Structure 1
Amino acid sequence: MRRVPIVSTLIVIGAVLTMIGLGVWQLQRLDEKQAMLARYAAAVVDGASVAYPADDKAAIELALFHRAEVDCRSISGPWNSIAGRNASGETGYVHLANCAIGGGQTAWVQAGWTKRPQHPDWTGGKVIGLIAPYIDGTARLIADPPAPGFAKSARPDPADVPNNHLAYAVQWFFFAGVALIIYGLALRKRWRER
């Protein structure tokens, strides 16, 4: 007699439904991400200036890829020099300074690009540029034109923002299918052995 084990079946059904739910969630995130990327692309084309956002994630999200201007009154802490490209596509280093901009606020300013990790001595001033994502949900202002002594950094492109949600959705649906196939094969083997 072919009996289906209840506990194992419930566990597999629960796991499969969870994986399908995760796949559907990723498809919903795909729609949200595509709308966000379209908003970023429109901001670049529009060229309108906005105020540099405070540390509020919602304000940062709305300001990304818009132009802004800050007055870097002083630089606090060490510079952050990371791998990056210049406007011509050469590899080297982009240099970020944490600038005091008034009102108790700070702004990460990407002053520009150099071939080596050492950066020119820049102590601040007015900076105009494009707001781009930075680490941990913060923003940075990529100077355009660059600060004195630096070369122009590569312009940020909304197309560089990762959008892997479709691949993740397919992956979750695939896992659900594989789980059902493996469970079906396990049941078949059990029934044959009986």
Structure 2
Amino acid sequence: MIGLGVWQLQRKADKEALIALYERNMAMSSLVSYPELPPVPDAMLYRKSSVVCLEPVRWDPRSGTDRNGGKGFRMIADCRTGAEGPGVLVDVGIGDGFAPPKWTGGIVQGTIVPGPEQPGMIARAMGKASPARAMLVADTPVAGLRPSAVPSADDTPNNHLAYAVQWFLFAAAALVIYILAVRRRLRP
């Protein structure tokens, strides 16, 4: 348990470095080429980019927030970008219903963020996780939609210190239980 607590402290430092990288990325103003294949390197997340969506092949409305804090449904288009390949996920804005907008594609400029579907811990541990896709959140929404709130580096959780304290407390509780059990056994 102490080893797990130390491991969580190491992960805390790694996560702090990752958040610092994301913050540096957010401060950069130059556009980067959108990554062709997943997984997207951390150095590309929260950077500005643009893509050409030839046509949306599937819509995935999900709950979300606009830039003013209003609630609605994020309209995420799975766009075809060429003859083959995985395409690109584009958040084109927030609407009030499930109906996708009348958008047929085009050039989209925005911010690269982690996509809505991230592999779970168990799938990653078993080696069965497909690479996580990123998503481009459009700077300018399509007609009839509000601009989606852009996730930031501050949204990245770093609760590893709490996990470390939890493991150290478990170890302390186990030690107290062990001492009490030994004292009881040594009594005549």
Aligned to 1:102: 82
* Mean CA deviation greater in 124-133 or 40-49: 40-49
Supply the AA of the counterpart residue of 1:161. Answer: T
Aligned to 1:118: 99
In 2, distance between residues paired with 1:36 and 1:172?
Answer: 23
Structure 2 CA distance for partners of 1:103 and 1:168, relative to 1, 3 Å: farther
Give yes or no for the alignment of 1:25 onto 2:7.
Answer: yes
Number of residues of Structure 1 aligned to a counterpart in Structure 2: 173
Length-normalised TM-score, structure 2: 0.86
In 2, distance between residues paired with 1:63 and 1:99?
Answer: 19
Give yes or no for the alignment of 1:131 onto 2:112.
Answer: yes
In 1, distance between residues paired with 2:155 and 2:148?
Answer: 15
In 2, distance between residues paired with 1:128 and 1:153?
Answer: 13
Give 1:103 deviation, angstroms.
6.2
Give 1:47 deviation, angstroms.
2.1
| Partner residue of 1:87 out of 67, 70, 85 | 67
In 2, distance between residues paired with 1:54 and 1:177?
Answer: 49
Helix, strand or coil at the partner of 1:121: coil
Give yes or no for the alignment of 1:54 onto 2:49.
Answer: no
Runs (5+) with no aligned partner, structure 2: 119-131
Give the greater-gyration-radius structure (CA): 1
Structure 2 CA distance for partners of 1:103 and 1:39, relative to 1, 3 Å: farther
Length-normalised TM-score, structure 1: 0.84
RMSD (CA atoms): 1.4
In 2, distance between residues paired with 1:71 and 1:166?
Answer: 42
Aligned to 1:35: 17
Runs (5+) with no aligned partner, structure 1: 1-18
Q: Is 1:54–1:60's contact at 8 Å kept on the other side of the alignment?
A: no
Aligned to 2:172: 177
Matches within 5 A, 1:69-84: 69-77=50-58, 79-84=59-64
In 1, distance between residues paired with 2:167 and 2:16?
Answer: 20
The percent identity for this pair of structures is 42
Helix, strand or coil at the partner of 1:150: coil
Q: Is 1:127–1:147's contact at 8 Å kept on the other side of the alignment?
A: no
Q: Is 2:114–2:135's contact at 8 Å kept on the other side of the alignment?
A: yes
